[in-house]
A = this chain, B = another copy of it.
């Protein structure tokens, strides 16, 4: 990216919610090069007005349908909505393509909505950083709500949902999700639960199972007890209740000063991620790669272990800095 692309005019356009400037800015942060950090540095003073909502859950729970309906509701309140949908690298979660198509026809034409899909494939580690960078861009551009939608499979996807102001875990009646969710620590990240497709058999049992677990764990929640909302998102049932619960949680965070606490936590995780990312770049520059390649033979011949070589590379790295 050339200097002129980062000129004041461009940033001004971004701040004015100019669609093309937003799209281009997100492409810049996705490219994850030095222009990316320059851009984010120069606009950071404008970050912090948007409210971030994390939506996660198993494949097929209806995350994108809920995101869509929620977006339509927010639009009726005249709020602008930015959506970052993280498609996992997993081949077995499906739905992403179809979901995107529905999204595009339903809300994608609305100028008050901006949708960006990110693929996890091939971007190990950096994904949560990129998603947060893109959320910052949407924040700067004046979107009131930013929805971070990720499938609840894999640690890095969960990290993204967790890095929101309000995190919603979507479950469906079947398959004993409640118990599985507990096992995987989703109980810890959910500010509230949605049991979607609640017109299906087993919904009541699922809700009551979830309730039991929540009561058992009650002492873990300090002053905020996650609620359970029923919905049939495809028929727009329960969406208003979800929006109300987001608001209730937002009020709770603001009145208890926990919103700041959360954001501090999120910023901390991000700084760590940025630092590690940069250090990795320094490590595996031309000279680092060469040193790795040249020592490889010693391991293959069995004379040294990967751990020996790692020590050598770290020593080299220290000497170079």
Residues of A within 8 A of B (CB): 37, 40-41, 44-45, 47-48, 58-59, 88-94, 120-122, 124-125, 152-159, 175-177, 180-186, 260, 263-264, 267-268, 270-272, 274-276, 278-280, 283-284, 292-293, 295-296, 299-300, 302-310, 313-314, 317-318, 321
Contact = CB atoms under 8 A, between A and B. Distances in A.
Contact of A59 (B92, B155, B159): B92
Given A41-B308, A121-B185, A296-B264, A154 B88 contact: yes
Contacts of A120: 154-155
A272 B280 CA distance: 10
Given A44-B302, A279-B283, A321-B321, A92 B274 contact: no
Nearest to A309: B271
Instruction: Give the number of times this chain occurs in the complex, counting copies.
Output: 2
A244 to B, nearest CB: 26
Contacts of A272: 284, 292
A279 to B, nearest CB: 6
Across the A-B interface, give the 5 residue pairs with the lowest CB-CB distance, nearest first: A91-B184, A44-B305, A154-B154, A58-B92, A91-B180
Given A272-B292, A276-B283, 11 more contacts: A44-B308, A91-B186, A120-B155, A124-B156, A154-B157, A271-B296, A271-B306, A274-B306, A276-B276, A279-B279, A279-B314
